[in-house]
Amino acid sequence: MDILAPTAPYTTSSHFLSGTGDSSPGRVRCFEPGEAARERLILSKLGKSGWGRWQYFRQCFSGGWGERRQKPLSPRSQEVFFSTLATLDIPEQATPSLFLTDDGHIELAWRDADGRAVQIEFGAATSELYLESEGFEATVPNRDLPDLLRERLPA
């Protein structure tokens, strides 16, 4: 008997938000320590949509994926993403988007009050900040990211 049931085909992040659809066979999952805290954090900062995107990346992009066997979601990228998210002030009117890059990094993006892009890519060793309003683009070691965000994205 298979322990791991196959994931249902053609599901997107909306699948993880639907409470009304037919239930699909679940995979056996090990919950990591601190997962509940991460779930609370992402729900409070990015809402159900952000939570659904994160679950989608974790569950569907854990192996090689795409036409060029792109990299799986990086655990280190997730760590940096969550530690940053805990202190990040995203404007209330903003609707944040969450992406997965081909390097397996989480990318968080939203638009400022003037509709200009704010983007942060969380890498394993370095992270990248882009501010369209200033034409600013910088890559810094992860240990310097909090300072850069405090300087460039004041509350």
Partner 1 sequence: MPVDPSEDFARAICSDKWDEATGEMSASLFKGENTSVSRLALCPLDETWDLFHRQVEKPPERTLRRIGTMNVGRLQQIGQGFPANPTALTVEPDPLPDFRSHAVIPEKISRGLANAIIRELTVHEENPS
Residues 14-43 that bind partner 1 (CB under 8 A): 14
How far CA 147 is from CA of 33, 75, 127, 142, in Å, comes to: 27, 22, 12, 10
Does 66 contact partner 1 by CB under 8 A? yes
Among residues 39, 79, 112, 132, the one that binds partner 1 under rule CB under 8 A: 132
Does 115 contact partner 1 by CB under 8 A? no
Does 60 contact partner 1 by CB under 8 A? yes
In total, the chain counts a number of residues equal to 155
Residue with tokens 């990591």: 32
Tell which residue, 93, 81, 18, 22, has the closest CA to residue 49: 18
Residues 81-100 that bind partner 1 (CB under 8 A): 95-100
Burial label for 21, CB within 10 Å (0-12, 13-18, 19+), is exposed
Binding site for partner 1 (CB under 8 A): 7, 9-14, 49, 53, 56-57, 59-61, 63, 65-68, 95-103, 107, 109, 117, 119, 121, 128, 130, 132, 135, 137
